[in-house]
Amino acid sequence: MSQRKFTNPERFAIWKHHRAVCYWCGEPLRLLETTIDHFIPERVENNSEELEELRKRYGLASNFAINDYSNWLPCHDRCNNNQAVGNSRGSQLAPSHSEESWSKDLSAL
Ligand SMILES: [Zn+2]
């Protein structure tokens, strides 16, 4: 369960960055129905061993942060918390965390 409240600009940036598609099911996603999920679950934030293992498994940057754009994914409410890392979709590719593409999207806000 996410503890973080997202602002509308944050939600918009995440939605736009992922081309208005639900990250988990791949279906089109309307901004109004967008919820934000975490690729690496927030509960790992205080477990540095598990975080380190997931970081290696998914090839994430060493400065990867749980609460940062690279870990936030847009999805349907019904898909949120349903597809977390570690279940059958565990082989899902890590989201793009190219700083360059993010700064482009964020500057458009
Ligand atoms: Zn979905």
Per-residue pLDDT at 41 = 87
Query: How far is it, in rounded angstroms, from Cα 94 to Cα 73?
Result: 10
Per-residue pLDDT at 63 = 86
Ligand 1 centroid distance, CA of 55 (Å): 24
Query: How far is it, in rounded angstroms, from Cα 44 to Cα 28?
Result: 29
Ligand 1 centroid distance, CA of 77 (Å): 7
Q: Which residues surround the ion ligand 1 when the cut-off is CB under 5 Å?
A: 22, 25, 76, 79
Ligand 1 centroid distance, CA of 61 (Å): 26
User: In a structure prediction context, what are the per-residue pLDDT tens digits for the chain, which is 109 residues long?
Assistant: 456 789 999 999 999 999 999 998 999 999 999 999 998 888 898 999 999 999 999 888 888 899 999 899 999 988 886 655 444 444 455 665 555 667 777 776 7
Per-residue pLDDT at 98 = 56
Ligand 1 centroid distance, CA of 70 (Å): 18
The DSSP letter of residue 72 is E
Ligand 1 centroid distance, CA of 45 (Å): 24
Q: What 3 state SS string does 27-49 have?
A: CECCHHHEEEEECCCHHHHHCHH
* Class at the top of the CATH hierarchy for domain 8-87: mainly alpha
Domain range summary for the chain, segments of one domain joined by +: 8-87
